[in-house]
């Protein structure tokens, strides 16, 4: 179990594009600068109860508390345990737009999580939320949080998809 109690980890956006390219054989992968790389339909859930204060400030939350409709800034690579929740009207790095439950069974591989996130988040849901079709070469990309193995053992099956710009520039509004 990790020291901060988080049971989810971020997977970089280029993983989704890589899976799409391998499956379709025709998608062009974006060139990812790992130093720079840092989610209209109604969301399927309300923002987290621990949402940022109305004064436009930020609140640090555990990634397990993130829900569809939340916006945040913070680290964008590796195992992330906490993020700074921000009012979506303010500039932010990331915005949760869809959640999906992974099927029960053995703990999935990274490729399985990536395929699930791509299938569920880069199609119609992405188009409805953003007003544009998903393009693996575009700046606006899909990332996702997936359960870590210890979270999976505790019954966590949620994969949370979110938007972020490939170049690290901020999003505003939702």
* H helix runs in the chain, sequence order: 13-24, 110-121, 124-130, 149-153
* Domain locations along the chain: 8-165
Question: Tell me, what's the pLDDT at 58?
Answer: 77
Question: Tell me, what's the pLDDT at 11?
Answer: 57
pLDDT single digits (tens) 137-146? 999 999 999 9
Is 163 or 4 the better-scoring residue by pLDDT?
A: 163
Question: Tell me, what's the pLDDT at 22?
Answer: 33
The percent of residues in the chain predicted with pLDDT above 70, rounded, is 65
CA 103/CA 111 separation, integer angstroms: 14
* Confidence tier at 161 by pLDDT (50, 70, 90): very high
135: burial class by Cβ within 10 Å (0-12, 13-18, 19+)?
middle
CA 113/CA 136 separation, integer angstroms: 17
* Confidence tier at 6 by pLDDT (50, 70, 90): low
Question: Tell me, what's the pLDDT at 95?
Answer: 96
Question: Which whole-number Å values give the CA distances from 48 to 1, 18, 134, in the listed order?
Answer: 24, 31, 26
Is 129 or 35 the better-scoring residue by pLDDT?
A: 129
Question: Tell me, what's the pLDDT at 79?
Answer: 74
Model confidence pTM above 0.85: no
pLDDT single digits (tens) 10-48? 554 444 444 333 332 222 222 223 233 333 222 333 344
């Amino acid at each position: 179990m990790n020291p901060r109690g988080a049971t989810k980890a971020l997977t970089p956006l280029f993983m989704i594009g890589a899976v799409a390219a391998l499956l379709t054989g025709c998608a062009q992968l974006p060139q990812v600068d790992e130093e720079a790389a840092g989610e209209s339909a109604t969301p399927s859930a309300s923002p987290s109860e621990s949402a940022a204060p109305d004064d436009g400030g930020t609140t640090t939350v555990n990634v397990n508390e993130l829900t569809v409709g939340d916006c945040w800034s913070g680290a964008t690579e590796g195992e992330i345990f906490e993020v700074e929740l921000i009012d979506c009207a303010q500039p932010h790095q990331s915005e949760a737009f869809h959640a999906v439950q992974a099927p029960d069974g053995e703990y999935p591989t990274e490729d399985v999580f990536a395929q699930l996130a791509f299938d569920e988040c880069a199609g119609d849901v992405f188009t409805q939320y953003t007003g544009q079709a998903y393009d693996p070469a575009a700046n606006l990309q899909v990332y996702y949080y997936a359960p870590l193995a210890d979270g999976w053992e505790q019954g966590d099956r949620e994969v949370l998809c979110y938007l972020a710009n490939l170049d690290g520039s901020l999003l505003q509004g939702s």
